[in-house]
Structure 1
């Protein structure tokens, strides 16, 4: 600004201060969302002579629509608590005595479309501001909000549309929207397609939202969308803007690249990069092309991908094979294992070891079971032999010590009533008391012993003759019933339980000659 311009400006300001006149400052155009509210920012000026009339208690603000006639075009009066049916609901938020006429209208509809004139009344002060004294405001009611604006910044420098950013660079997306009256105020939100996790460093302040992150190959061709939302009484109204990010990055070889072995070796390699990379195959460190031992084919996968396959003869199985992808931002390599992989060998070794271990465990269990079985059988045989020896010893003692002679004295009665002895009829019998039990603790009593000896008349000779063919010894059962009461015998070394049931003893009666 030169000196002349400064002088003109200073003269104008001085004139405004010294000689004030009626003037007003209003926005020329205002957009309002249907169903929300609208704010008219307003500042006015009056002549010096009316300053004394402009008081807080007496000042009233009026708004006229599409004309300056108070009787025909009045739509708002700040002095009325309840507006008339054809008036707008609102209030003056500014202080009129401070010459601030900022006003808000609620429940905006298409009826609010038009040109607005402000009028001030305060005592003797009554004045309507028209085009001659300043601006008038035009309100335009819209049914949908204006969409926000999204801009891309790389390293804090704005990037024009369709320009690409480099991988690992700092990227910022800024969303801004025009402020429209709304209660509650509108909000800005971010989304992406395809969906990816967004950085937590995004912030929202007023109607400007920044989304900051470091660019990677996963962000390439991702569309970021910024949405502005107005929460109205009947429904929400939204608008959105988006931008698609383009990222340049070095080649990336897919982990699924592998080889198959049949009669020949077939390997494939899939690489992705921006710009689209070139792909080469190296055998033993040297590039290879189509030949009698190798066959190479390629297939483009979109604008950034490439898939290549190579077929090798089995004679080349002992060479090293490498896939190499290149573009202007870098090189990526992948080595293929043509021989049986170490991992497979290790896997086979592990499986063999597991199988051997399982067989050894089974054999150990079998041998252990056999040994335990034999040991238990030997123990049972030993117990049986001990029981047999004990029974044999008991029988021998009983035969030696418990054998008693039973004499049956055959006394013949004569007809005279006198008894006469017949020496030939004397029978000798021996009774062996043999117990079925292995051992007895004590015998309390023998209730009855029965010895039945059949007498054969005619003497011993007749009896022997009657038994001649079978045997000279006649065995007759002698039943001995005994109630055996057992008691427990305690010893220092062992403790045994005695037999508590009743035993049947058998006596063998041997017939002897006198």
Structure 2
């Protein structure tokens, strides 16, 4: 026999020994959180020594011991013989298939503690799995869900600066850890100020996505995701929110116009983010403060600006007045209609026209 053949036989022997000779062992989560008033699921699988395989039948009993394994004083659940002081629940797994997954109902603070599993079968199969336990921590209120921002399908890592450009594809994702409850918890979106929302949900993962194309209307809008548990006595909720800051090119208000007074006075309002600048162009040329023009500005908000211009100069029927607003994202223009009564008539200057009106007024008063 070659050395190679001998090594293969030895390796095969070790593998067969590992398959044939099993020990008692159990797989449990180390910690579980449970919401008061709901339920809790303990995912559980166990193994037994192979010599007890014949004792593990569909008549096997699963027990849970709390905060110790020393006797019936620690027993809080018996799948075959429940006691009045035991916890309400059931083993949802098949014990004869070594699945000890269990659900406890009507969770209260009494469920806080460390749990050990015990299996009892026919013959000599009776074993406490005291080498491993699971701890249940009961919470009175659910944790708030997690809200993440995705722009053009890429997650925004800096969640403190949530700036997006108008026209970008935006997705807000709300996710939450699923705690046991019946019916399952739900995730819902709302916004302040209120705007129509269209969302999609994946209940099995408890994820809700809110998808839209960013517009200036969503600037400084707060989106709130709420998780709701429908419990027997009352609903329990938790919320998390996110506020968007949308960057957009200036937009000039349709209300921008001129008024008929002794001299032409025109107003222009613009909104943009970053806050825009406003300029006046008369017949294509920029206008600044002078003896013939007076310009004033008023900040309306962090994104809004209002400017007025008063014209103390001659105008012709070809004169045009334009409001121009710009920021780092673009430029907006609006031409305003000048009052006709202030334009030159038949070659006479505006000042001459005012003198004629004044003379008539004097004669009338006389």
**Residue of structure 1 equivalent to 2:326:** 326
After superposition, the CA RMSD in angstroms is 1.9
Deviation at 1:12, TM superposition (A): 10
**Residue of structure 2 equivalent to 1:389:** none
Deviation at 1:309, TM superposition (A): 1.1
Retained in 2: the 8 A contact 1:274–1:327? yes
Unaligned runs of 5+ in 2: 1-11, 342-366
1:450-503 alpha-carbon deviations (Å, 9 max, x no partner): xxxxxxxxxxxxxxxxxxxxxxxxxxxxxxxxxxxxxxxxxxxxxxxxxxxxxx
The whole-number CA distance in structure 2 between the counterparts of 1:335 and 1:11 is 93
1:273-300 alpha-carbon deviations (Å, 9 max, x no partner): 1111111110001111000110111122
The whole-number CA distance in structure 2 between the counterparts of 1:191 and 1:141 is 29
The whole-number CA distance in structure 2 between the counterparts of 1:223 and 1:14 is 62
When residues 289 and 76 of structure 1 are mapped into structure 2, their CA distance, relative to the original with a 3 A threshold, is same
Deviation at 1:316, TM superposition (A): 3.1
**Residue of structure 1 equivalent to 2:64:** 63
When residues 15 and 281 of structure 1 are mapped into structure 2, their CA distance, relative to the original with a 3 A threshold, is farther
Q: Which has the higher helix share?
A: 1
Deviation at 1:18, TM superposition (A): 4.3
Q: Counterparts of 1:10-159 in structure 2 under 5 Å?
A: 16-57=18-59, 59-80=60-81, 83-123=82-122, 124-131=124-131, 135-159=132-156
The whole-number CA distance in structure 1 between the counterparts of 2:273 and 2:154 is 22
Unaligned runs of 5+ in 1: 1-9, 342-514
The whole-number CA distance in structure 2 between the counterparts of 1:17 and 1:312 is 98
When residues 295 and 91 of structure 1 are mapped into structure 2, their CA distance, relative to the original with a 3 A threshold, is same
Deviation at 1:69, TM superposition (A): 1.6
Equivalent position SS for 1:87 = coil
**Residue of structure 2 equivalent to 1:370:** none
1:139-191 alpha-carbon deviations (Å, 9 max, x no partner): 01111111110101011100131231111111111110001010111100000
Which region of structure 1 is more displaced relative to structure 2, 114-123 or 293-302? 293-302
TM-score (norm 1): 0.61
**Residue of structure 2 equivalent to 1:468:** none
Q: Counterparts of 1:362-511 in structure 2 under 5 Å?
A: none
Deviation at 1:271, TM superposition (A): 0.7
Runs of 4+ residues over 4 Å off in structure 1: 10-16
Please tell me whether Structure 1 or Structure 2 has the larger radius of gyration of its CA atoms.
Answer: 1
The whole-number CA distance in structure 2 between the counterparts of 1:184 and 1:120 is 31
**Residue of structure 1 equivalent to 2:203:** 205
Q: Counterparts of 1:292-307 in structure 2 under 5 Å?
A: 292-307=291-306
**Residue of structure 2 equivalent to 1:402:** none
The whole-number CA distance in structure 1 between the counterparts of 2:307 and 2:244 is 28
Which region of structure 1 is more displaced relative to structure 2, 110-119 or 258-267? 258-267
